[in-house]
Chains A and B, each alone.
Chain A
Amino acid sequence: KAGVTQTPRYLIKTRGQQVTLSCSPISGHRSVSWYQQTPGQGLQFLFEYFSETQRNKGNFPGRFSGRQFSNSRSEMNVSTLELGDSALYLCASTSMGLNTEAFFGQGTRLTVV
């Protein structure tokens, strides 16, 4: 069974640019969550999508947005990049059945210069 796939693995962007990251969840999983991981703040929740609807959102500015498609694949977008957006962005998928554990992808390492 394939795991959570995130693309690309690495990105280097310039301040002010925008970026789109992609996440394909485990087959059959309908919930996708996004997290930002930095050395100082650890893992912080960005947002969660279920059946193409955003169900929950963390405390991040509006420059961070996302969407989910009918096949459960998800994208997140960051506009007007800032140096502080440099982080490992992680996607997690959950089956939403009896087992509530989230399975993470390898992440996308974003560096803003």
Chain B
Amino acid sequence: EDQVTQSPEALRLQEGESSSLNCSYTVSGLRGLFWYRQDPGKGPEFLFTLYSAGEEKEKERLKATLTKKESFLHITAPKPEDSATYLCAVQGGRSQGNLIFGKGTKLSVKP
């Protein structure tokens, strides 16, 4: 069964304090791993897609990496506006269009 586990559930950082979020997955035939950001009461906002182990993508203070078993979302020198829930999702070979989501990591960045 395809499964995604994110850790930690919650993370509190001081502004400028870099850290990483983890996404561990088991999936049959990974077609893509996705990172989303979700603000309270809003829909998930697409951040990155990773397709194969070793791939990395960056956007402003965020960098996503992928191995065969997990993905990391590195946040460098975060700012309060980075506070949100970060969701990881996978699309496996057996699925047609549906994503399997983790429960998310709620990030709080204090000034």
Contacts and interface: CB of A to CB of B under 8 A. Distances in A.
Q: Does A associate with B in a complex?
A: yes
Nearest to B85: A42
A44 B109 CA distance: 28
Interface residues of B, number: 24
B101 A43 contact: yes
Given A42-B103, A43-B87, A100-B31, A56 B97 contact: yes
Given A104-B44, A109-B41, A48 B96 contact: yes
Interface residues of A, number: 29
Contact of A48 (B31, B42, B97): B97
Contacts of A28: none
A76 to B, nearest CB: 14
A24 to B, nearest CB: 13
A42 B104 contact: yes
A105 interface: yes
A31 B97 CA distance: 8
B45 A55 contact: no
Which 6 A-B pairs give the minimum distances between C-beta atoms?
A104-B43, A48-B97, A43-B101, A45-B98, A42-B103, A104-B44
Interface of B: 31-32, 34, 36, 41-46, 49, 87, 89, 91, 95-104
Interface of A: 4, 6, 31, 33, 35, 42-45, 48, 50, 55-56, 58, 88, 90, 92, 94, 96, 99-107, 109
